[in-house]
């Protein structure tokens, strides 16, 4: 046992696999980086870090478990989160359509398209996406509880260690996505219609995430 953390290697491996699963957070960060560049991509990543930190504090203090005892609260958060994801997707689809209409095959280095409203404030957008996902809150509750020894005198330290590991793994993964998104931006800069199609595809995925969240249940 390491400072109240049980089976640390299993936790690290589990965290890596979970972080690598595609989801709205990582997709949003990559979308921002591909549209706006590396610096905005990292601002979006900081929004993810802040949102995850809030969720981990809620999990550590037991506040998030209120969702289990209050189905009405779960429903409100669920539908609000689903609506926000769908709104992000629709904005990306509209931006893709505008870019497609402006694109001319064979045009050399066309001017960059204006950012979609959903990506114009990367930190706020990523923070909202992170927070408005009740399934993520429930995941943090169940995941952390498995690896903290209830008999340890300082459980706050255990949660801090686990949270730090999650944030480090997330930072490494999002950095790969940010630089990958910046590379795609360079490739798309001379191919506006290809970039528009990719943006539209991301928008469709966000609408799909919203639909999936809207049908999510506590069990």
Which pLDDT belongs to residue 44?
93
| pLDDT of 11 higher than 80 | yes
Does a structural domain hold residue 154?
A: yes
Which pLDDT belongs to residue 218?
56
| Residue ranges with strand state E in 34-177 | none
Does a structural domain hold residue 14?
A: yes
Does a structural domain hold residue 200?
A: yes
Q: What is the pTM of this model?
A: 0.72
Structural domain of 207: 8-214
Q: What domain count does the chain have?
A: 1
Does a structural domain hold residue 1?
A: no
Note whether 190 and 97 are within 8 A (CB): no
């Amino acid at each position: 046992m390491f400072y109240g953390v049980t089976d640390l290697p299993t936790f690290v491996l589990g965290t890596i696999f979970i972080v690598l699963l595609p989801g709205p957070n990582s997709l949003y960060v990559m979308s921002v980086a591909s549209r706006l560049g590396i610096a905005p991509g990292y601002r979006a990543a900081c929004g993810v870090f802040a949102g995850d930190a809030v969720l981990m504090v809620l999990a550590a203090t037991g506040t998030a478990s209120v969702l289990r005892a209050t189905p009405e609260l779960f429903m409100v958060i669920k539908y609000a989160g689903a609506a926000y994801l769908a709104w992000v997707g629709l904005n990306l689809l509209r931006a893709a359509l505008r870019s497609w209409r402006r694109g001319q095959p064979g045009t050399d280095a066309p001017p960059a398209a204006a950012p979609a409203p959903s990506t114009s404030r990367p930190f706020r957008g990523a923070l909202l996406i992170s927070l408005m996902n009740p399934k993520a809150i429930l995941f943090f509750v169940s995941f952390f509880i498995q690896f903290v020894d209830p008999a340890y005198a300082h459980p706050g330290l255990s949660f801090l260690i686990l949270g730090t590991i999650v944030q480090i793994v997330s930072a490494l993964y999002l950095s790969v996505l940010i630089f990958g998104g910046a590379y795609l931006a360079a490739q798309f800069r001379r191919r506006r219609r290809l970039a528009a199609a990719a943006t539209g595809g991301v928008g469709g995925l966000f609408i799909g995430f919203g639909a999936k969240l809207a049908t999510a249940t506590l069990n």
